[in-house]
Amino acid sequence: MTTIAVLPILKDNYAYVLAAPDGNAAVIDPGAAEPVLAYLNKHRLRLTHILNTHHHGDHCAGNIALKQATGAIIIAPAAEADAIGSVDHGVVDGDRIVINHLDFQVMATPGHTLGSVCFYLPALKTLFTGDTLFSLGCGRLFEGTAEDLWRSFQKVMTLPDDTMIYPGHEYTLANGAFCLHIKPNNTDLQERIAESTALQKQGQPTIPAPLAVEKKTNVFLRAHDANQLSMLRKEKDKF
Ligand code: ZN
Ligand code: FE
């Protein structure tokens, strides 16, 4: 079975290393190369693929050094290939790619950036969400509209409840404070925050997050329409 390692990088980013039983590995969103190389060396893994969810540096700045060190192939949204650079394979919505015997489904999820994608791995019940969706939060609307992001969220909402989400940042507690401000009486939210607080006190990531819990607690994901999402996002920007 392929394993997923959560690598804290930069200030509050996560890169994820997927290690197959044969020692081949892929990395999602390497915003820095060093910690990824250190992990690969320590666990004697061969990096075959680099995947990016979007073009921001904290998600792809490690690409080139990793490619030079390992010869790995870079896979990224086709719409952002020029911004990212040295992309070997551009992907679009609905693409299915097999990496180290695992099926990756590409979901276009514009909003944070216009070309943002999520990678869905049905066999692992896993969704890599980049800065589209965080635990208890969502990315800022830098390029897309609230309408774009709301439609992206409706796609995520169709995934099975037992999907685990792996976002690009550790923002759970800060996001949780905002969700609690909006929905003070949501007991599922109170539970998620308590559990996340305990994990963070032990220096542990709050990631991955069960999509079932996000569906009950994340006020952005639960927005009824684009207008409500827009109002929440604007309020969060000032929170
Ligand atoms: Zn970003
Ligand atoms: Fe980011």
pLDDT category of residue 52 using cuts at 50, 70 and 90: very high
**131 Cα–ligand 2 center, Å:** 5
Q: What are phi and psi of 132, to 5 degrees?
A: -75, -50
pLDDT band at 6; cut points 50, 70, 90: very high
Domain total in the chain: 1
CATH number at residue 225: 3.60.15.10
pLDDT for position 134: 98
With DSSP H G I counted as helix, E B as strand and the rest as coil, what are the percentages for the chain, rounded to 5? 35, 25, 35
Residue 141 CA to ligand 1 centre (angstroms)? 10
Between the CA of 37 and the centroid of ligand 2 the distance, in Å, is 20
Q: Residues 53, 130: contact at Cβ < 8 Å?
A: yes
List the domain range (segments joined by +) for residue 25. Answer: 3-238
Rounded to the nearest whole angstrom, what is the distance from the C-alpha of residue 137 to the centroid of ligand 2?
Answer: 13
pLDDT score of 192:
98
pLDDT at residue 56, as a whole number = 98
Gap between the Cα atoms of 86 and 94, Å rounded:
22
Ligand 2 center–CA 215 separation, angstroms = 22
Which ligand is in closest contact with the Cα of 112? 1
Which ligand lies nearest the alpha carbon of 54? 1
The predicted-structure confidence for 131-154, as pLDDT tens digits, reads as follows 999 999 999 999 999 999 999 999
Tell how far the Cα of 167 is from the centroid of ligand 2, in angstroms.
9
Torsion 146-6-53-32 (CA) sign: positive
Distance 22 CA to ligand 2 centre (A): 31
Q: Where does the pLDDT of residue 77 fall: very low under 50, low under 70, confident under 90, or very high at 90 and above?
A: very high
- pLDDT of amino acid 187: 98
- Distance in Å, CA 77 to ligand 1 centroid: 13
How much is the pLDDT for 87? 98
Note the pLDDT tens digit of each residue in 179-207.
999 999 999 999 999 999 999 999 999 99
- pLDDT bin (cut points 50, 70, 90) of residue 76 is very high
Tell me, in angstroms, the distance from the centre of ligand 1 to residue 232's CA. 19
Return the C-alpha torsion angle 17, 18, 24, 29, nearest 10: -50
How confident is the model over 101-129, as pLDDT tens digits? Answer: 999 999 999 999 999 999 999 999 999 99
pLDDT confidence band for 66 (50 / 70 / 90): very high
Ligand 1 midpoint to CA 59 (Å): 7
Nearest listed ligand to the Cα of residue 56 = 1
Nearest listed ligand to the Cα of residue 31: 2
CA of 81 from ligand 1 middle (Å) equals 15
- Band (100; pLDDT cuts 50, 70, 90): very high
Q: What is the pLDDT of residue 216?
A: 98
